[in-house]
Structure 1
Amino acid sequence: MRNFTPSAECPVRNVLGRVGDKWSMLVLMTLHANGVMRFSEIHRTLGDISHRMLTVTLRVLETDGLVQRAVYAEVPPRVEYRLTERGESLMPHLFGLVEWAQANLAGILASRRRD
């Protein structure tokens, strides 16, 4: 693919626009590492995400079929999140990016200091 024009048919813009934001990859990595989690557990694990932003991020990931939300009829209601099969299939690709980031962070930070 050589043309990245804005359209719904460009998979790069379409998919990366959804999972390439500040929080989506971190939420996916958190769910992969910890398995089934409740909202408050995800929030505690990430630490600096607002409740509103976590809600929005989980809804987007659920809409795209990467995260499954299960609501249990209890008092109080229990809601759990887990990766779907599609979400799990994304993980090896995210791990590659994480490994690259870890290997190159020192050099990137040094380049930033020079500028």
Structure 2
Amino acid sequence: MADRVTLRIEARDRYVCTSPWTAFNADLWLCGRQIATRPPGTHVARAGKGVKFLIGTPRLALDTISHSIRLDPGTIFLLRDVPRAAQPRFEAALVDHGTCELA
């Protein structure tokens, strides 16, 4: 599986209004990969498949009829089993929103 890599991603935001680190009534996704989810019937957010949080964790905010999942600036996580060819796409998606490097 030499074509697969692990990415180390740090969440940082310069423009909060277009942040990829907040999802309303949905799971948190980045370039087709699930970063965080809220399992049905629970009041916590969990890491997506192949994601390991090193610093920080996903936060869940509950309202009476909705919820949101967010990552705070400074959150660092590993994203495992990413196709090597997808790394430039992750880097492009994180311009002004974070950093992406090989772990």
TM-score normalised per structure 2? 0.34
Larger fraction in helix: 1
More strand by share: 2
Q: TM-score, normalised by structure 1?
A: 0.31
Of structures 1 and 2, the larger Rg is shown by 1
